[in-house]
Amino acid sequence: MQIRRFGRYTHVMKPQKILLGLALSLLGATAFAQWQWIDKDGRKVYSDRGPTLDIPEKNIVKRPSGRSLAQPTGSDASAPADAAVAAAAPQGPASAPKSALDKELEAKKKAALDAEQAKKKADEERLVKARAENCSRAKQAQATIDSGVRMGRTNAAGEREIMDDAARAVEAKRIQGIVAADCAP
């Protein structure tokens, strides 16, 4: 027996009530068992009951586990034989042919993979192009420094100053590093 307190009131839960509540909650779980198939007009049908036997096995997209096809509603003499064949047929994802939903999912996965590969390729091409441009600019700057022409730059205060030999050597070393990084094959 469980005893629960709600404010001033005490409520006693008997084992029978607990079992009844558990049984009722399990009955609700079976309501989620859904069938899904494609009818003769090509529309998807969702139901808690299986399709009739006139729906081919390949058109059944989803079935609750352990369930077989429902009996047909009409009076058909071959219905018991068809039901026996349908019940004896192996049911499972390994034996069933790929459904339209699986094929659609595969196509979407392939399209996403192709888009990702195309994006990677575009990023690589953009990187190669940027490296080639950096290489070209660095070689041009290196040629300017090696020529011995007076070079100026703007300092932090916004004033123009002429580079001395030490500043030239530092700049030459920086540009050489860029050439080595971006112009390497």
Is residue 51's pLDDT more than 80? yes
Identify the pLDDT of residue 57: 87
Which one-letter amino acid corresponds to residue 10? Answer: T
According to DSSP, the β-strands at 60-62 and 152-154 are unpaired
Domain boundaries, the chain: 1-32, 33-97, 122-182
Name which of 177, 152, 147 is nearest 162 in CA terms.
152
Q: Confidence band (pLDDT; 50, 70, 90) for 185?
A: low
Q: What is the DSSP string of 45-93?
A: EEESSPPPTTS-GGGEEE--TT--PPPPSS--TTHHHHHHHHHHS--ST
Tens of pLDDT, residue by residue over 70-114, are 444 444 444 444 444 444 444 544 445 568 888 888 899 999 999
pTM strictly above 0.85: no
Q: Higher confidence at residue 76 or residue 32?
A: 32
